């Protein structure tokens, strides 16, 4: 059972529990990646999901201290609605088409229009970049848990460790285990060490000594979502 995650503001939880995770087209919210205007905002018809960067995207979604990570059971999604992240298409094709579509922003804009046409690459996007798109609303029946946390000072080490990851194919290749286990920690599924996901020989070279992260403080919690089962008529 593959788990995907969607980072959002704490204030969005009530609406998500009522209607599912809706794309910007329906919520009328601005995207998180539109610095410098709307030039590079995400597709308005797509909900972006990840299997490793949930905490980081949650912090990007709000300027408030309360954040939320929504866990989604991918088995409960319609496969035909899954599409690759345009960032994956842009990065994965650099050696193939070079800069024929302009700089990185122009190339991302180009591939943003091609995600639905390339739905067959959805799982490659998740495997190599750690992100995937869902066209339209993620149904509430697919939501299994919600992790709540805050960024109050003093900032918890786990929050610091989520850092500012470089969401690239190269970073995923070397660091995906670290971010995967960090996400599991927020859902109370994993006990973490400082050097989790770092190869032992590299950790020794860097002089990193493993130690357990402190207990989850007040404000860190997990909600399990229970759905009513449909009864079939006999």
Q: Does the residue 82 lie in any domain?
A: yes
Structural domain span for residue 40: 1-228
In this prediction, residue 102 has a pLDDT band, given cuts at 50, 70 and 90, of confident
Q: Does the residue 143 lie in any domain?
A: yes
Number of structural domains found in the chain:
1
Q: Does the residue 234 lie in any domain?
A: no
The span from the CA of 105 to the CA of 210, in Å, is 39
Q: Does the residue 215 lie in any domain?
A: yes
Whether the full predicted model's pTM is greater than 0.75, yes or no, is: yes
Using alpha carbons, list the distances in angstroms from residue 184 to 3, 53, 140, 146, 153.
10, 11, 21, 12, 22
Q: Does the residue 79 lie in any domain?
A: yes
3-state secondary structure of 18: helix
Q: Does the residue 158 lie in any domain?
A: yes
Summarised one tens digit per residue, pLDDT across range 52-71 is 999 999 999 988 889 999 99
Summarised one tens digit per residue, pLDDT across range 105-161 is 888 999 999 999 999 999 999 999 999 999 999 999 999 999 999 988 788 878 888
């Amino acid at each position: 059972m593959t788990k995907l995650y969607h980072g959002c503001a704490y204030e969005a939880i009530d609406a998500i529990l009522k209607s599912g995770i809706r794309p910007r087209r329906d919520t009328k919210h601005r995207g998180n990646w539109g610095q410098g205007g709307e030039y590079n905002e995400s597709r308005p018809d797509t909900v972006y999901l990840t299997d490793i960067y949930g905490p980081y995207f949650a912090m990007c979604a709000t300027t408030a201290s309360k954040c939320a990570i929504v866990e989604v059971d991918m088995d409960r999604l319609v496969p035909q609605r899954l599409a690759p992240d345009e960032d994956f298409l842009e990065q994965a094709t650099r050696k193939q088409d070079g800069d024929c579509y302009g700089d990185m922003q122009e190339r991302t804009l180009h591939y943003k229009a091609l995600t639905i046409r390339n739905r067959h690459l959805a799982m490659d996007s998740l495997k190599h970049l750690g992100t995937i798109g869902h066209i339209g609303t993620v149904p509430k029946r697919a939501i299994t848990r919600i992790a709540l946390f805050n960024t109050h000072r003093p900032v918890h080490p786990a929050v610091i460790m989520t850092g500012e990851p470089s969401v690239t194919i190269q970073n995923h290749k070397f660091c995906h285990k670290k971010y995967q286990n960090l996400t599991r920690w927020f859902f109370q599924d994993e006990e973490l060490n400082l050097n989790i996901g770092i190869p032992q020989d590299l950790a020794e070279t860097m002089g990193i000594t493993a130690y357990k992260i402190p207990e989850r403080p007040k404000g860190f919690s997990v909600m399990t979502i229970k759905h009513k089962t449909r009864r079939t008529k006999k």
